[in-house]
Amino acid sequence: MQIILDKTKGGYAQDEETLDKLRKNFFGKEEQGLIWLEPEEFLYLIQFQNAKAVDVKGKELTFTDVMVHFSKKEDRLFTKYNAYRDWRDRGLIVRRLTNVRSKHEGKTFKKYPSKKLQTKKLEATAYWFSDSLYSILDSDELGKWFFEEFWIGQYGIYKQGRGDTSKLSFLETVFVAKHFGVKLIDAKTKKATTPEKVLNAAIKKREYTKELYDIYEDWRLQSYVVKTGFKFGTHFRIYFPGASPVKEDNWIHSKHVLHVFPKDQKLLISEWSRAVRVAHGVKKTFILGIPEMTEKDYINYHVDFVAYRRKKEGGIFVRETPKDKPRYLLAVVSEDEHIGGVELASLLKMAKEMGLSLMLSITDRETSITYYVLKQIVLPGSKYEYYEIEWIKP
């Protein structure tokens, strides 16, 4: 194969033998007897398809020559090329988003069960310890009731069945005051306080407290059990409605963890990925929550490719081609880049509008690729958006 680089117009192929090979493997875009190649396609053909690259005068070009040329106009080219290379190496098709603009009707969400929490006003008091961000209920009987009926608070010692003190986190403290009418007393001043003051005290001590509480309350009001996810490197572990620490023969284990990603927070991709991998390592579904997004927050964040997988045909799996609908909107990042809640939410919105699932392709420093697929969760009654994140091997 011979491919040609015109430094003003781009890369292309023109001889019939090369054109035939490129057509069969869905490379490039054919126009007026030529096939025009994207930079990553041109590079892949040189490095892995034994294509000879020349300039318009016939001078042979190396992979580095071509990379240097295209990098002048193409940001993050090596990261994009490496993602493209990995997908192609798997025998799968990947194409630039600019070449695929049609909307598809793929199912990009999963519906979770929902049941409105039944609350009632109680005659009870909790003493708030602002220096440690927790409170203690003054009624052991009520503390046991909260624990056994709603799994709110920690009654006695965790998993040991000893003790009768009921300790509430700052999130639980605010929640029972707002929704069960529990009165709050500041342990230092011995004066009554409010859930708003408790929340403000927590806000001064730890970042993104309001966002954490909003997500906590959102799931609790749908009858989910929400407990700390500290041991799994996330904010919360989630139990579906009906879960209880005392209604099982053995201690019940959570199958979901939830991480709150505020819209103005930015994380290194490597840090974000680590939390997802920890969850998957202990066989838990990782859920991401991005609270407080409004229509004006969404941005036009860079996205590069759509990707195809394999389908079953005649009892065997065959690769999908551009004649089929793509499966994924493929966003390409490296482990040393940052991504924020706004950026991720914007990518998810774009994928949803196209009827595709969002896939993140993460290149590490040794050119290995890790893939994550994000699918929206529909939580009836919720005003926020949530996503399951699955680590996959294509």
Q: What is the bridge-based pairing of β-strands 109-111 and 310-313? A: unpaired
Nearest Cα neighbor of 148 from 52, 247, 20 is 247
Name the one residue in this structure whose structure tokens are 């011995």.
Answer: 190
75-115+222-394 to CATH, choices 3.40.640.10, 3.40.1350.10, 3.40.190.10, 2.60.40.10:
3.40.1350.10
Q: pLDDT (tens digit, 9 = 90+) per residue, 221-232?
A: 999 999 999 988
Type and span of the H or E element at 63? helix 63-71
Domain limits of the chain? Answer: 2-74, 75-115+222-394, 117-209
Q: Give the span between the Cα atoms of 358 and 349, in whole angstroms.
A: 9
Say what the pLDDT of residue 156 is: 61
Q: Indicate if 117-209 has the same CATH topology as 2-74.
A: yes
Return the DSSP state at 325. Answer: P
Nearest Cα neighbor of 48 from 71, 76, 82, 77 is 82
Say what the pLDDT of residue 250 is: 42
Give the mean pLDDT of the chain: 89
Burial of 250 (0-12, 13-18, 19+ CB in 10 A): exposed
Q: pLDDT (tens digit, 9 = 90+) per residue, 111-147?
A: 888 889 999 999 899 999 999 999 999 988 999 999 9
Token code pair at residue 276:
């997802």
Q: Give the span between the Cα atoms of 13 and 20, in whole angstroms.
A: 10
Q: Give the span between the Cα atoms of 354 and 296, in whole angstroms.
A: 20
Phi-psi region of 282 (alpha: psi -120 to 50; beta: other; left: phi over 0): alpha
CB within 8 A of 262, min separation 6: which ones? Answer: 208, 211, 290, 291, 292, 341
Query: pTM for the whole thing?
Result: 0.84
pLDDT, averaged in runs of 10, over the chain (394 residues): 94 95 95 95 96 95 96 93 96 86 60 88 93 92 91 76 80 96 95 96 91 95 93 90 70 81 85 81 87 88 90 90 92 90 89 90 93 88 86 85
The radius of gyration of the chain's CA atoms, rounded to the nearest angstrom, is 27
Q: Give the span between the Cα atoms of 127 and 137, in whole angstroms.
A: 6
Nearest Cα neighbor of 27 from 7, 6, 42, 17 is 42
Token code pair at residue 267:
């994380």
Residue 25 near residue 16 (C-beta atoms within 8 A): no
Q: Coil, strand or helix: which one is 374?
A: strand
Say what the pLDDT of residue 251 is: 45
Burial of 91 (0-12, 13-18, 19+ CB in 10 A): exposed
Q: How many CA atoms lie within 13 A of 262 on its CB side?
A: 12
Q: Coil, strand or helix: which one is 7?
A: coil
Say what the pLDDT of residue 231 is: 87
Q: What is the dihedral of CA 84, 87, 88, 90, to 10 degrees?
A: 160
Say what the pLDDT of residue 105 is: 55
Query: Looking at the domain 2-74, which fold is it?
Result: MutS, DNA mismatch repair protein, domain I (3.40.1170)
Say what the pLDDT of residue 99 is: 63
Instruction: Provide CATH code, domain 117-209.
Output: 3.40.1170.20
